[in-house]
Amino acid sequence: MEYIPQLLFAIALILGIGYFAKNVMKLRRNIKLGRDMTINDNTSERWKNMIMIALGQSKMVKRPIAGLLHIIVYVGFVVINIEVLEIIIDGLTGKHRIFSSIGSAYGVLIGTFEILAILVFVSVIIFWIRRNVIRLKRFLSSEMKGWPKNDGNNILYFEMILMTLFLVMNATDLKFQAMDSGNVISQYIAPWFSDFSEQTNHYIERSAWWLHILGILVFLNYLYFSKHLHILLAFPNTYYGKLTPKGQFENIEAVTKEVKMMMDPNADPFAAPSEDEGDAEVPAKFGASDVQDLSWLNLLNAYTCTECGRCTSECPANQTGKKLSPRKIMMDTRDRLEEVGKNIDANNGEFKDDGKQLLGDYISHEELWACTTCNACVEACPVSIDPLNIIMQMRQYLVMEQSAAPMELNNMMTNIENNGAPWPYNQMDRLNWKDE
Amino acid sequence: MSEQLKVPTMAEFMAEGKQPEILFWVGSAGSYDDRAKKITKAFVKILNKANVEFAVLGTEESNTGDVAKRAGNEFLFQMQAVTNIEVLNAYEVKRIVTCDPHSFNCIKNEYPGLGGVYDVVHHTQYIEELIAAGRLQVGSDTLKGKRITFHDPCYLGRANKVYESPRTVLKGTNANIVEMKRHKSTALCCGAGGAQMFKEPEKGDMDINVMRTKDALETNPNIIATGCPYCNTMMTDGIKAHEKEADVEVLDVAEIIAKAQNF
């Protein structure tokens, strides 16, 4: 009988981690639905970016208030997880506070956790006020209605509850309070429970302990369904982030081949493609109309987005009332990817055409054509997401596959084709300015 | 009103068996747009004054393809790029200077992958170089006490992290350089990029250039400085929308330098 708590704990742990692992596999599979591309260059620069941007939060502090609060919650999350390690060992072995054997350092450790816990609690309350009372504009855009709004608040409630449980657990642990070392915050909470008997305190402590660890397991499994995935994906995402100048857009290789062939006076335009070249090298289509056409990095970007809206608040089109919101581009990409993933799950691993796609059903032409390619969204993202890259691929699809550019742009492009300038001027007049 | 500009072409240099120091890439706006042509001429005056041996491609230059690429037409972009690269490589061009950040970005970053590798600099960087080398003097009292605010072009600033050159050059004029609230990496676009220059904006409640000129007007400037022909057009229109065209001038950095020196 005495092993029942340990057994229950082990079962909870296996279920919690198992289900999470299952969803991580699904996440991996969905990201790999994207177009293949190889990123294996400049590893040292990439590690540096990951350490600076993800671990070091260097871009978060561009907005000092949100940045500071975020760093508190982030450091709290990372450091308090050391306590989770103790809880897991205690839970599996039936011991109580196994790390306390390290002596006085334990007090310092727990004291640090307690201070961080209260700081996290306060920060999270401020975050909640920013979203729900002050109602900052970037949290109220149309794409934030419904689930995204609730998701944001759910995460804050989770953290409030977990921090409360941690402090209550310490406050009602009479042995720990008697040690009087490390209870820097919980000593002020303990008196609230001093009217209760020792036994009741013990029950409260046990309940808080169990709810705390179960809460963490539930929270872990909430990640996959939430914008909170960024706590994990920010790391690979900043590692794989673009290193070339922001203004450098990729040249499509398949186009290069065709252009080179067209320009080559010796090439036989009617030649059949040789066997070994095959059709595999030429993409089925240019640009992207659905998530499978985007690169895996675009899809990783989408899962990493935590919907903070810094991109959208910096976007010139969005600021002037246009429909475009870079955040919505990322959210739409993730939503569509999830839909495709579920479709695959429901059809024994094969995607069955559902008559829908990212372009049109999620992202409208109007949004895509409102972009000035100014890179403000890319610059603003604290975790190196590139919404512009997705916008460009969808424009390429519209223009090269569907000839669906706005009429004025078609005129402009016809002019370039005919006379090498976006306006209908004669190429031979190109130097006239010098004599005018 | 011809002012005796010396504008030799690459073909002329080639005929003499010489290589110029730089190729001046004029760009489509700089060649055909009435307002942008003034910027082109101001820059040529600077080059003439500093005795720079430069050449243009003239009628052999064609659109970089940048705007086609941003509009999504990769085919047209690469056709233009490959055509231009053939000409540039035939002339063995090493160094290119341009007044257009879009051409600058495109040739510098997107041509190398297609076989066109050059040292590409923006005209504000080149002017900075000329001053540093002692080939050009800009300090005078013409602009003393004038307030100038510089609007960062997206494709020079955020896209390529060139923030200081235009500012350094402007500071050399003894004018008073004032910054807008959002500048450098957080500068707001003028609204022309991404092929927007060539189409009507989507439905919204304001035009981007009007919003950006509001930023600029908040600094209470005498001159709004630009480093891009498209920004120049957008800011000029923005000033008109705010009915400030009588009080505030919109000038390219090259024009400001030429004006300071009465070139």
Question: Which residues of chain B are within 8 Å of residue A371 when distances are taken between CB atoms?
Answer: 194
Nearest to B204 among A320, A371, A423 (CB): A320
Q: Give me the percent of chain A exceeding a pLDDT of 70.
A: 96
Residues in chain B predicted with pLDDT less than 70, given as ranges, are 1-3
Considering only alpha carbons, which residue of chain B is nearest residue A378? B158
pTM: 0.95
Cβ contacts of B57 within 8 Å, gap of 6 or more: B9, B10, B23, B25, B26, B87, B88, B91
Residues of A in contact with B185 (CB under 8 A): 379
| Burial readout A5-22 (b: 16 or more C-beta within 10 A, e: otherwise) | eeeebeebbeebeeebee
Instruction: Find the distance separating the first CA and the last CA of chain A, reported in whole Å.
Output: 100
Residue B252's region, left for phi above 0, alpha for psi from -120 to 50, else beta, is: beta
Residue A373 and residue B193: Cβ atoms within 8 Å?
yes
Candidates B63, B108, B204; nearest CB to A420: B63
Which chain A residues are Cβ-neighbours of B82 within 8 angstroms?
259-260, 263
B contacts of A319 (beta carbons < 8 Å): 188, 208, 211
pLDDT at A270 over 80: no
- Are B74 and A373 in contact (CB < 8 Å)? no
A-chain residue closest to B62, CA distance: A420
Using a CB–CB cutoff of 8 Å, tell me whether B66 touches chain A.
no
- Kindly list the residues from chain A whose CB atom is less than 8 angstroms away from the CB atom of residue B62: 420-421, 427
Annotated domain spans of chain B: 10-130, 137-260
Q: Which residue of A has its CA nearest to B211?
A: A320
Reported as a single tens digit per residue, the pLDDT across B65-113 is: 999 999 999 999 999 999 999 999 999 999 999 999 999 999 999 999 9
Domains B10-130 and B137-260 agree in fold: yes
Residue B161: closest C-alpha in chain A: A245
Interface with B, mutate which of A320, A378, A386 (most B CBs under 10 A): A320
> What integer pLDDT is reported at residue B1 of this predicted model?
42
Q: Which of residues 46-65 of B touch A (CB under 8 A)?
A: 56, 58-59, 61-63, 65
Q: Which of residues 86-115 of B touch A (CB under 8 A)?
A: 86, 105, 108-110, 113-114
Whether B39 contacts chain A with CB within 8 A: no
Within 123-162 of B, beta carbons closer than 8 Å to A belong to 154-155, 158-161
When scoring A413, A419, A425, A428 by the number of chain B Cβ atoms within 10 A, the one with the most, hence best to mutate, is A413
What's the mean per-residue pLDDT of chain A? Answer: 94
Structure tokens at A75: 């450091």
pLDDT tens-digit map of B231-249: 999 999 999 999 999 999 9
The pLDDT, as a whole number, for residue A2 is: 77
Sorting pLDDT into bands at 50, 70 and 90, what band is A52? very high
Minimal C-alpha gap between B204 and chain A (Å): 4
**DSSP letters spanning chain B:** --------BHHHHHHTT---SEEEE-HHHHHH-HHHHHHHHHHHHHHHHTT--EEB-GGG----SHHHHHHT-HHHHHHHHHHHHHHHHHTT--EEEES-HHHHHIIIIISGGGT---EEEEHHHHHHHHHHTTS-----STTTT-EEEEPPPTTTTTTT---HHHHHHHHTTT-EE---SS-GGGPPP-S-TTTGGGSPPPS-SS-HHHHHHHHHHTT--SEEEESSHHHHHHHHHHHHHTT-TTT-EEEEHHHHHHHHTT-
- In angstroms, what CA-CA distances link A390 with A295, A347, A376? 9, 27, 15
Whether pLDDT at A278 is above 80:
no
Asked if the model's pLDDT at residue A387 lies above 60, the reply is: yes
Nearest CA in chain A to B41: A434
Outline where A316-406 has alpha helix (H): 316-319, 326-346, 358-361, 365-369, 376-380, 387-396
Query: Does the pLDDT value for residue A274 go beyond 80?
Result: no
Residue B194 to residue A372, Cβ atoms within 8 A: yes
Q: 3.40.50.1860, 3.10.105.10, 1.20.1340.10, 3.55.40.20: which CATH number matches B10-130?
A: 3.40.50.1860
Q: Which of B186, B199, B202 should we substitute to test contact with A (largest number of A Cβ atoms within 10 Å)? A: B202
Question: A286-343 pLDDT, tens per residue?
Answer: 999 999 999 999 999 999 999 999 999 999 999 999 999 999 999 999 999 999 999 9
- Tell me whether residues A433 and B160 touch, CB distance under 8 A: no
Nearest to B205 among A251, A321, A413 (CB): A321
Give domain B137-260's CATH architecture.
Answer: 3-Layer(aba) Sandwich (3.40)
Question: How far is it, in rounded angstroms, from Cα A152 to Cα A87?
Answer: 27
Is residue A189 within 8 A of residue A171, CB to CB? The reply is yes
